[in-house]
A and B are shown apart, each in its own frame.
Chain A
């Protein structure tokens, strides 16, 4: 089994309460470098809250959240710092910069200095278009390069946001419900895309679509009421009685 020093991400006994309501109650999770993990679980299980904790949006009340073999305590950093350490995030509701072109969305996301002066007259003004094109190719949006992001379809926005994650070149991608609102064909493409990305990035995917989760062919963790209910191969988890009771057999 994984150990703290080898884990890319290590959550232990994380608790988060909102006005007395416990969204996470003793969540523990470990992710190996290079791993892809799917997270499933009923609405309100705490999947998004877990991502909020990892990315610095929400401070846990107790528990440890460690990154990079236990070297970094994520609870001591804010969103921008955590993003800078190499954790990228796609929101549950696709969020792109609507009044910018598709290419500019990628331009802003590309790895590199992020200070105001660099953006005004420094390095970010000298980014080669080829770097943008490469990302757009991966997420299959090359043809829409100059379109305003606001005019994209829901599914295309999801891809653009994944492209923005890729452009950051993070060590770990957190992808919250990437196929919500996608057609079956788009869903399939997205599974392939994420598997490609997983070749050189670690990925955590939250999703309700079980056929999509199956297509990812990775370990699955089922959350329920803020803690892990079951973990393992998809067949093992899907046949777990409690999982069927609280989630799959609704």
Chain B
């Protein structure tokens, strides 16, 4: 009953999106685990991992769309929240290695032994416990976003200035995480993971499991975001985006509204990062690179800002392009292609791919039944 009503409340594109996710959850495990390797329907494990990566990016894109597409906060630092979530997961995975490390130390990760450290820094305490690590996955990005947002929104930093300080934030974290004495593995980051909750991370079944979990999380993220933007709160966010001072003079504490959506979005980005790390098998400071955050903005713009589904679509399409580009002879030109794509979309497709698709469909349906509109 409730699910039926819910489905009816969703737009056509949203139903298609959820149906697609459901199909992925069924078809990818079947294609990988059931179909024999010589079958045309077989999906190689490498592809599963690649798709899983895209799905994590799609979660990040939806998180970014909430703040940028709906509330007009152009964050160029969302990669930082993604990376922090990734590091929290990475720290759990490091602690799971135990005595299987190169140095065989029961508690300290290899890089700490290498640095001649004698005991575990406080920042690492508790990370051997999965529940605590998962709490940190959302808490660390959330608290950082809350403090940052509280300072920025209360002083009414907006527009380009806000974008610039979000870039500064992720850049500062990049520099900090590069340092060995920060205790997060320096420029090598965290890697050589062995298992997660007792399952070997390299195993085919674990990889499929992580993929399924990622898709389910994407669906849940979409559900939460859709609930939020479909409520009056979503309308307040759009009001702030379109006429911030009007909203303020109506008696809304704009800074509180921005703070909630920004913090929530950072937490979702952290979850995306946490799912990403066990699938790619490494997290290092390069995840904080300012260009990562900018790329995420491009995904959202390409897919269609302020639509949620478009953001997810954009993340997958742009990253699929990136995979094609960077694995061939065209690799050196990827950044040009990305820049060109962004310019093209901004000029020709202000509503992104999704806007284009919907205009096509609208044009077709009016062509078929010209009388219906009357």
Contact = CB atoms under 8 A, between A and B. Distances in A.
Please classify the interface of chain B as helix (H, G, I), strand (E, B), loop, or mixed, using the class held by over half of its residues: helix
B238 A100 contact: yes
A18 to B, nearest CB: 18
B239 to A, nearest CB: 5
Contact of B251 (A57, A84, A104, A120): A84
B249 A97 contact: no
B235 A108 contact: yes
Q: What secondary structure prevails in chain A residues at the interface with B?
A: helix
Given A83-B250, A104-B235, A114-B251, 16 more contacts: A80-B248, A80-B252, A88-B250, A91-B246, A91-B249, A95-B243, A97-B243, A100-B235, A108-B239, A108-B247, A115-B253, A115-B256, A119-B232, A119-B235, A119-B236, A120-B231
3 smallest CB-CB distances across A and B, nearest first, come from A83-B251, A120-B233, A119-B233
Contacts of A164: 250
B306 to A, nearest CB: 9
A208 B337 CA distance: 55
Contact of A114 (B231, B235, B242, B252): B252
B212 interface: no
B238 A99 contact: yes
B134 interface: no
A96 B249 CA distance: 12
B58 interface: no
A99 B248 contact: no
A102 B355 CA distance: 23
Given A91-B246, A99-B242, A116 B235 contact: no
Contacts of A107: 232, 235
B225 to A, nearest CB: 12
B233 A79 contact: no
A121 B260 CA distance: 14
Contact of B250 (A108, A116, A121): A108
Nearest to B256: A116
**Which of B232, B243, B253, B254: most chain A Cβ within 10 A?**
B232
A80 B236 contact: no
Nearest to B252: A114
Contacts of A88: 249-250
A115 B235 CA distance: 13
A168 interface: yes
Nearest to B239: A97
Nearest to B241: A99
24 contacts: A57-B245, A79-B245, A79-B248, A79-B249, A80-B252, A83-B250, A91-B246, A95-B243, A95-B245, A96-B243, A96-B246, A97-B243, A98-B242, A104-B235, A108-B236, A114-B252, A116-B233, A116-B256, A116-B257, A119-B235, A119-B236, A121-B231, A125-B232, A168-B250
B228 interface: yes
A83 to B, nearest CB: 3
A125 B230 CA distance: 10
Contacts of A59: none
A84 B236 CA distance: 16
A124 B235 CA distance: 11
B317 to A, nearest CB: 25
Given A99-B238, A108-B239, A119-B233, A55 B246 contact: no
A79 B251 CA distance: 7
Contact of A120 (B228, B246, B252): B228
Nearest to A86: B251
A11 B248 CA distance: 23
A211 B240 CA distance: 36
Contacts of B242: 97-100
A248 interface: no
